[in-house]
Homo-oligomer: A and B are copies of this chain.
Amino acid sequence: MPTTHRPVLALHGGCGTPAESELSPADWREVHEHLAQALRRGWAAMARAGGGALDGVEAAVVALEDSPHFNAGFGAALCEDGTHELDASIMDGRTRAAGAVSAVRHLRNPVRAARAVMERSGCVLLTGAAADAFGRAQGLDCVENHHFTTPRRVAALKKLRAVQAVQAAQAADAVPASPFAAAPGRPGPHPGITEADRHGTVGAVALDAAGHLAAATSTGGFNNKPVGRVGDSPVIGAGTYATDGLAAVSCTGQGEVFIRHVVAHDLVAQMRYAGRSLQEASRVMLDETLAPHRVGAGWVALDALGRVVAVFNTLGMARGWVDAAGQVWVGTHRAMLPMGPV
Contact = CB atoms under 8 A, between A and B. Distances in A.
A46 to B, nearest CB: 20
A79 to B, nearest CB: 9
A106 to B, nearest CB: 13
A123 B266 contact: no
Interface string A107-124: 000000000001111111
A216 interface: no
B260 A98 contact: yes
A222 to B, nearest CB: 11
Contacts of A189: 121-123
A128 interface: yes
Given A97-B185, A130-B229, A235-B236, 8 more contacts: A98-B260, A103-B128, A120-B182, A123-B229, A123-B256, A125-B229, A134-B180, A269-B270
B102 A127 contact: yes
A160 to B, nearest CB: 14
Interface in A242-256: 255-256
A149 B295 CA distance: 43
A269 B265 contact: yes
Interface in A216-238: 226-231, 235-238
A262 interface: yes
A184 to B, nearest CB: 5
A121 to B, nearest CB: 5
A262 B259 contact: no
Most chain B CB within 10 A, of A127, A182, A227, A259, is at A127
Contacts of A125: 102, 229-231, 235, 259
A315 B61 CA distance: 43
A18 interface: no
Contacts of A186: 122
Most buried by B among A131, A185, A256: A256
A313 to B, nearest CB: 19
Contacts of A184: 97, 118-120
Contacts of A95: 185
Contacts of A261: 96
Contact of A274 (B255, B259, B262, B274): B274
A130 B228 contact: yes
B98 A259 contact: yes
A82 interface: no
Contacts of A236: 235, 238, 259-260, 262
A122 B179 contact: yes
A171 to B, nearest CB: 16
A179 B123 contact: yes
Contacts of A118: 184
Given A237-B265, A273-B269, A230 B260 contact: no
A98 B189 CA distance: 15
A129 interface: yes
A180 B229 CA distance: 25
A278 interface: no
A181 interface: yes
A188 interface: yes
